[in-house]
């Protein structure tokens, strides 16, 4: 199975700040990577797919990048509604696997 290592596990940032979350795959996943946001008490929602494509309705302050085994999610100008957990997921091979998540809080 492909292991997804996500960092950091938690992150505290101020409003308006730019934050970056990293995700490393145990093998090349050829940009078959998605990012999901899960707000407290809610279901996850798709943010990014194919490593850098924004899902419908997602604000443009979110962006994804990377290739091979290294990927990142960037949030520009952090807003209060961005407080959530973020998960990466590879879909290059079955079984699909998720990173352990990054909990983003406001400083």
Partner 1 sequence: EVQLVESGGGLVKPGSSLKLSCVASGFTFSSYGMHWIRQAPKKGLEWIALIYYDSSNKYYADSVKGRFTISRDNSKNTLYLEMNSLRSEDTAMYYCAKNYGEVMDAWGQGASVTVSS
Give the H or E element holding residue 47: strand 45-49
Considering only residues 43 through 62, tell me which ones interact with partner 1, judged by CB under 8 A: 43-46, 49-50, 55-56
> Closest separation between CB of residue 99 and partner 1, Å?
7
> Closest separation between CB of residue 80 and partner 1, Å?
23
Look up tokens 């960037």; give the residue. 74
By CB under 8 A, residue 91 contacts partner 1: yes
Cα–Cα distance, 90 to 97 (Å, whole number)? 6
Cα–Cα distance, 1 to 41 (Å, whole number)? 29
List residues near partner 1 by CB under 8 A. Answer: 1, 32, 34, 36, 43-46, 49-50, 55-56, 87, 89, 91, 94-101
């Amino acid at each position: 199975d492909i292991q997804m290592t996500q960092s950091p596990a938690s992150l505290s940032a101020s409003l308006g700040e730019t934050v970056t979350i990293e995700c490393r795959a145990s093998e090349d996943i050829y940009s078959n990577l998605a990012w999901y946001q899960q707000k407290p008490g809610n279901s996850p929602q798709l943010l990014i797919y194919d490593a850098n494509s924004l899902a419908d309705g997602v604000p443009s302050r979110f962006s994804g990048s990377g290739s091979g085994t290294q990927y990142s999610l960037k949030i520009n100008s952090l807003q209060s509604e961005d407080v959530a957990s973020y998960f990466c997921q590879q879909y290059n091979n079955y079984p699909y696997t998720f990173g352990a998540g990054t909990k983003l809080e406001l400083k």
